[in-house]
Structures are given as structure tokens and as C-alpha cells.
Structure 1
Amino acid sequence: MMDATFWATVALVIFLAVVIYMKVPGMLSKSLDTRADRIRSELEDARRLREEAQQLLAEFQRKRKEAEKEAADIVEAARHEAELLVAEAEKKTEEYVARRAALAEQKISQAERDAISEVRASAVDLAVEAARSLLAAKVDAKAGADLFKASLQEVKSKLN
């Protein structure tokens, strides 16, 4: 009655007894627990790394927005400064043209005054010479000299 099935059963029972005696289920359980802990730790590390990556992404996006705003502010300030420079250049150009025009007008007015004075002086000289010539012919030298001096005094007083 001891057939192969019996011996296979006995061998199985002995094998199971040896496995239990050697604490193989405990080792398997411990190995599985260790592996589960390692997987749990890796999952926790992955979650933490994902959170850090999200924080870094948010920070970089914030910094990018700040940089874009700063760049826009710089461009706006440069545009405003350029407008001011253009306005200042236009103003200085207008002032320069106005000064040059005023200076030209002053020179023209001075030239007119000088010409008028020169014409008057020439006219006075001619009138005095003509009067002297006429008087010299009609009046004696003494009377002519007195008349010439009186006329000269009168013309000088009118010029001043």
C-alpha cells in the first residue's frame, strides 16, 4: 500500500515541514515587505520630485513673466526717452532757428541804420559844401565863416 502517491504525499509534508522549520514563509514575507517598503519609498520620492518639479516650473514661469514685464518696461522707458530726446532736439532746433533769424534781423536793422546815417552824413556834407560855395560867392569870407559855423552847429544839434 505504499504506492507512489503515498511517498509523494510524505515527501510533500516533509518538504513543507522543512520549509516552515527554515522559516521560509517569514523570509518571503520579510522580502516582500522590504520590497513593498522600497516601492513605497520610491513612490514617495517620485511624488516629492514631481512636487519639486511643479514648484520649479511655477517659479520659472513667474520669473519669465517678471522678465517679460521688465523687458516691456525697459522698452517703454526707452521709447519714452527717445520721444523726449526728439522733442528736445526739435525745441533746440526751433530755438536755434529763432536766434539766427533774430540775429539776421538785428544785422539788417543795424545795416539800415548805418546806411541811413551814412546817407545823412553825406547829405549834410554836400549841403554844407553847397551852402559854403553859395555863401562864399555871395558873402565875404568873415560872414561866410560865421554862417558856416552857425549852420554846422545847427546840423550837429539836429543829428544828435
Structure 2
Amino acid sequence: MAEHPANLAPDAKSARPETHATDAHAGAPEHHPTPTAFGLDAPAWIGVAMLVVFAILLWKRVPAAIASALDRKIEGIREQLDEARRLRSEAEALRAEYEAKAASADADAATLIERARHEAEAIKAQAEADSARLIERRTLMAEAKIAAAERAALDQVRAKAVEAAAAAAERLIRERHDPTADSRLVDETIAGLGRTN
């Protein structure tokens, strides 16, 4: 800020003797007076400028604009918090749903395992019963085949025995009976027939 010439003149006059005094006293410190304008020094003018700026801000409704901007910001933050709460509740609902599904899946798996175990036991029992029936049927078939083989063997033995007996009888008859013995036997048989009558 430019200083008023009237205010500078006395200071200038007073500064000259101090300068001479300074020249006279080389070791003494210099003392400079603080410049002023309209009776206000620099810090006072800074305060006045700040008051003017604040007055302009109040006149232009800057605090209201700041307050509305802050209100908008607060409203945005509130909406974000509401959205976060909604997302959290949805996430908790999904978590509960998946936990319920997991529990249901565990129960279904246990039921399936139990059903499979029962089916396996039923299949095993059926297989054991079928194998027992098959063994029994094959045993009966084997016994029937053995009995048939025994009968066939007995029939063969009997047939061979009959053949052997017939052959032996024929051989004995041939050996012991000659034609004369045969005619005598026939005569005796005929004579015996006549006596019975």
C-alpha cells in the first residue's frame, strides 16, 4: 500500500537525525518506525481485509451454499450408507439361503446314502437268495444226473449180466447137452405131460 506523504514527512525528518546519530554511534542498533496508513499499520489492514472478505462471503450467501453443499454431501453419504445396509441385508439373506441349501443338501446326501445302503443290502440279500436257489437247483440237477447215470450203469450192468448169463447158459447147454440128450429130455418131458393127464 502506498503511504501518505504527510505521514512520511515527519518520519523522514526524524530519520535523518537518527542516521547522523547512527553514524555517530556506529555500535548502536537502528530503530525504524512501523509505517501506517490512515492510522492503521499492516496487521490492522490485514484484519480489515479479512473482515471485508467475510462480509462479502456473507453477502453472497457463501455459508448457505457451503451448508447446502454439505447437506448434499451428507445426503449422498446417507444414501451410500442406506445402500450399504441394503446390500448387507441382501448378503445376509443370501448367506442364510445358502446355509439352508447346504443343510438341505447334507440331509439329502444322508438320505441318499441311507437309501443306497438299504438298496445294496436288498441286492445282496436277493443275490444270496438267488445263488442259494441256483446252488439248490444245480445240486438237484447234479443229483438227478447222478441218479440217471447210476440207473443207466445198473441197466448196462444188468444187460451185460443177462447177456453173460445167456451166453453162459448157452455154453453150458452146449457142453452138457448133445443131440441125444436133447431128444431124451424132450421124450421125458412129453412122457411127463402124459402122466399128468
TM-score by length of 2: 0.58
Query: What per-residue deviation string (whole Å, max 9, x for no partner) do you get for residues 19-70 of structure 1?
Result: 2211011112101111110111111011001101101101111121122222
Q: Structure 1 residue 130: deviation in Å?
A: 5.8
Q: Structure 1 residue 106: deviation in Å?
A: 0.6
Equivalent positions of 1:73-84 (< 5 A) are 73-84=111-122
Q: What is the aligned partner in structure 2 of residue 43 from structure 1?
A: 81
| Structure 2 CA distance for partners of 1:111 and 1:140, relative to 1, 3 Å | farther
State the AA in 2 paired with 1:89: A
Q: What is the aligned partner in structure 2 of residue 72 from structure 1?
A: 110
Q: Structure 1 residue 7: deviation in Å?
A: 6.5
Count of residues in Structure 1 that have an aligned counterpart in Structure 2:
143
| Structure 2 CA distance for partners of 1:23 and 1:93, relative to 1, 3 Å | same
State the AA in 2 paired with 1:82: A
State the AA in 1 paired with 2:88: R
In structure 1, stretches of 5+ residues that fail to align are 144-160
In structure 2, stretches of 5+ residues that fail to align are 1-37, 187-197
Cα RMSD after superposing both structures: 3.3
Q: Structure 1 residue 129: deviation in Å?
A: 5.3
Query: What per-residue deviation string (whole Å, max 9, x for no partner) do you get for residues 104-155 of structure 1?
Result: 1111211222233334334444555566655983654995xxxxxxxxxxxx
TM-score by length of 1: 0.69
- Cα distance in 2 for partners of 1:141, 1:127 equals 25
Q: What is the aligned partner in structure 2 of residue 86 from structure 1?
A: 124
Q: What is the aligned partner in structure 2 of residue 20 from structure 1?
A: 58
Q: What is the aligned partner in structure 2 of residue 34 from structure 1?
A: 72
- Cα distance in 2 for partners of 1:141, 1:102 equals 59
Report which of the two has the higher share of helix: 1
% identical equivalent positions? 37
- Cα distance in 1 for partners of 2:79, 2:60 equals 29
Q: Structure 1 residue 103: deviation in Å?
A: 1.2
Largest Rg, 1 or 2: 2
1:55 correspondence with 2:93: yes
- Cα distance in 1 for partners of 2:184, 2:66 equals 159
User: Among 137, 145, 148, which residue is 1:99 paired with?
Assistant: 137
State the AA in 2 paired with 1:26: A
